[in-house]
């Protein structure tokens, strides 16, 4: 059991200030409520249920360790927060308590151009890091849609996905080692080998991957050593259009199986996505009506590699039914890929065509190529159901993106984008949205996929299916949680892990988000 909410005059705050100093502890309402905000939608009238009691702003691993040890003594929840750009509420304090905001820990601690590593604090983001690395002719190639605003600590906590992962890998492949404060306050380093910069070892368990994607339930990252790669001489993007989704789907398979090592990624936009862009995206360059689906490709590398590979790529696309969309679309849209994170703030009601303020949310899964058409049809059918039933949702289409690191022919990140008139959310239509999320995740599992490819499964609607996806591994996961976090203070309520301590533990969402659906 966790302690009751912390009163603003509680002596506990003085204990925190003794660890962090007076400027490292914030208990005022703006500091607490601003750290309740996340991009994912939730009922505005329930924000107060998720506001932390206090925010701490550490500068060192030792300060974080002190906070965690103190929280253990008092039974107070601790929730790490980095950029909070995640779409699954990983940084939302379901049990209130302490938010540990790592943004002050944003230093570049070492650039090693000989062994090709960079060591950083968890509060730095890829944009700022690569601005400094550019002068050295290298880069850290972790490239999420949230590139300008997500932070390294959060990328580790979510085991983030990269837009150019087909060429360079994803976060788990690009982080060599990291230092982490465990839920009891110990500080350890985990990696692919014994040394901070070793990429491969066969000694012991591969603990680095245990802490990748733990969503703050197993500790707080305080330092990371990252992979450096040469800045590419050439960045080539080519977009192709098709008369149908089926034609684009078949061409996607041909492109990803081409064997081109410089291929950074292939993404398929379905017909619903094209209709949405035509209708409501001001940045969309108008295309003819026979453009029903689009496949985007990108390549990175040296000029000697990319130039002949690009010719092969274009030939493969054309031979499999694609038509080149031109330089303006290909180069401009790929260059603006991060701007898409600033998504539109409006959508349309199907019944009236009325334009209303809407927030964006996506549901994602990892799906094998063979199942993409079936998943697409069933997900859009679920979207249609909630649109017709509740009138506050809009279907913004789907992406299908190469997901396997260095293996673009492997599984795909499949994403459906939904517009939500968030101001109209209440307990009834929120319950409908949760049901739809659950059904979307269930479809992914039915076709042998994963609930999520990149965002995590800690939100209401999909968190309940984590045990089904993992099978017997979920019991091992709960056992690990009990051992490392005996008092359940580290981000409690996530992944249904409260049942590791009490099999009859109530859902963290009961009586809050759904009003008990």
**pLDDT truncated to tens, each residue of the chain (517 aa)?**
445 667 666 889 999 999 999 999 999 999 998 888 777 766 666 777 889 999 999 999 999 999 999 999 999 999 999 988 888 888 889 899 999 999 999 999 999 999 999 999 999 999 999 999 999 999 999 999 889 889 999 999 999 999 999 999 999 999 999 999 999 999 999 998 888 999 999 998 989 999 999 999 999 999 999 999 999 999 999 999 999 999 999 999 999 999 999 999 999 999 999 998 888 877 788 888 899 999 999 999 999 999 999 999 999 999 999 999 999 999 888 888 877 655 667 888 888 889 999 888 889 999 999 999 999 999 999 999 999 999 999 999 999 999 999 999 999 999 999 999 988 988 899 999 999 999 999 999 999 999 998 888 888 888 888 888 988 899 999 999 999 999 999 999 998 899 999 988 877 765 444 333 3
Domain contains 495: no
User: Helix 245-256 and helix 303-319: axis angle, to 10°?
Assistant: 140
Is the distance from CB of 296 to CB of 274 less than 8 angstroms? no
3-state secondary structure of 309: helix
Read off the CATH number of the domain in which 177 is found.
3.30.465.10
Domain contains 463: no
Range of the domain at 143: 108-230
Does residue 150 share a domain with residue 196?
Answer: yes
Does residue 167 share a domain with residue 133?
Answer: yes
**Spatial distance between the Cα atoms of 498 and 346, rounded to a whole number of angstroms:** 37
Does residue 185 share a domain with residue 259?
Answer: no
Burial class from Cβ neighbours inside 10 Å (0-12, 13-18, 19+) for residue 490 reads: buried
Does residue 49 share a domain with residue 155?
Answer: no
Pairing of strands 323-324, 234-242: antiparallel
Domain contains 175: yes
Does residue 243 share a domain with residue 163?
Answer: no
Read off the CATH number of the domain in which 328 is found.
3.40.462.40
**Spatial distance between the Cα atoms of 420 and 425, rounded to a whole number of angstroms:** 8
Does residue 359 share a domain with residue 442?
Answer: yes
**Spatial distance between the Cα atoms of 185 and 67, rounded to a whole number of angstroms:** 8
Does residue 277 share a domain with residue 408?
Answer: yes
Domain contains 399: yes
Domain contains 3: no
Domain contains 187: yes
Dihedral over Cα of 333, 334, 336, 339: its sign: positive
Does residue 151 share a domain with residue 33?
Answer: no
Does residue 305 share a domain with residue 368?
Answer: yes
């Amino acid at each position: 059991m966790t302690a009751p909410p912390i009163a603003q005059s509680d002596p506990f705050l003085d204990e925190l200030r003794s660890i962090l100093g007076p400027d490292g502890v914030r208990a005022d309402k703006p500091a607490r409520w601003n750290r309740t905000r996340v991009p994912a939608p939730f009922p505005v009238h329930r924000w107060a249920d998720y506001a932390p009691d206090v925010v701490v702003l550490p500068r060192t691993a030792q300060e974080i360790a002190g906070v965690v040890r103190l929280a253990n003594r008092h039974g107070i929840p601790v929730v790490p927060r980095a950029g909070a750009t995640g779409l699954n509420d990983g940084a939302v304090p379901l049990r209130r308590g302490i938010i540990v905001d790592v943004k002050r820990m944003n230093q570049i601690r070492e650039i090693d151009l000989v062994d090709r590593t960079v060591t950083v604090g968890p509060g730095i983001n890829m944009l700022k890091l690569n601005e400094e690395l550019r002068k050295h002719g290298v880069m850290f190639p972790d490239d999420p849609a949230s590139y300008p605003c997500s932070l390294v600590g959060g990328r580790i906590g979510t085991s983030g996905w990269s837009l150019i992962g087909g060429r360079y890998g994803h976060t788990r492949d690009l982080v060599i080692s990291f230092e982490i404060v465990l839920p009891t306050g110990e500080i350890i380093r985990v990696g692919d080998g014994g040394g901070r910069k070793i990429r491969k070892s066969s000694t012991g368990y591969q603990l680095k991957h245990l802490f990748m994607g733990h969503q703050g339930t197993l500790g707080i990252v305080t330092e990371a050593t990252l992979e450096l790669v040469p800045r590419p001489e050439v960045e080539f993007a080519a977009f192709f259009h098709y008369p149908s989704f089926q034609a684009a789907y078949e061409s996607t398979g041909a492109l990803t199986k081409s064997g081109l090592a410089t291929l950074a990624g292939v993404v398929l936009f379905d017909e619903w996505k094209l209709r949405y862009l035509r209708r409501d995206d001001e940045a969309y360059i108008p295309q003819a009506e026979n453009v029903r689906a689009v496949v985007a490709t990108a390549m990175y590398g040296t000029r000697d590699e990319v130039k002949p590979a690009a010719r092969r790529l274009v030939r493969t696309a054309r031979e499999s039914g694609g038509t080149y969309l031109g330089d303006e679309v290909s180069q401009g849209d790929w260059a603006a890929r991060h701007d898409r994170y600033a998504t539109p703030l409006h959508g349309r009601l199907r019944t009236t065509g009325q334009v209303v303020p809407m927030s964006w949310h996506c549901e994602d899964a990892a799906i094998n190529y063979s199942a993409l058409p079936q998943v697409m049809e069933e997900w859009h059918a679920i979207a249609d159901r909630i649109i017709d039933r509740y009138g506050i949702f809009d279907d913004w289409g789907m992406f299908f993106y190469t997901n396997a690191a260095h293996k673009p022919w492997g599984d795909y990140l499949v994403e459906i984008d939904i517009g939500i008139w968030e101001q109209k959310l209440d307990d009834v239509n929120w319950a409908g949205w949760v049901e739809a999320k659950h059904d979307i995740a269930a479809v992914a599992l039915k076709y042998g996929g994963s609930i999520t490819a990149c965002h995590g499964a800690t939100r209401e609607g999909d968190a309940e299916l984590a045990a089904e996806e993992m099978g017997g591994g979920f019991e091992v996961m709960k056992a690990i949680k009990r051992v490392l976090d005996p008092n359940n203070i580290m981000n409690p309520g996530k992944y249904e892990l409260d049942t590791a301590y009490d099999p009859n533990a109530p859902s963290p969402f009961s009586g809050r988000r759904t009003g008990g659906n």
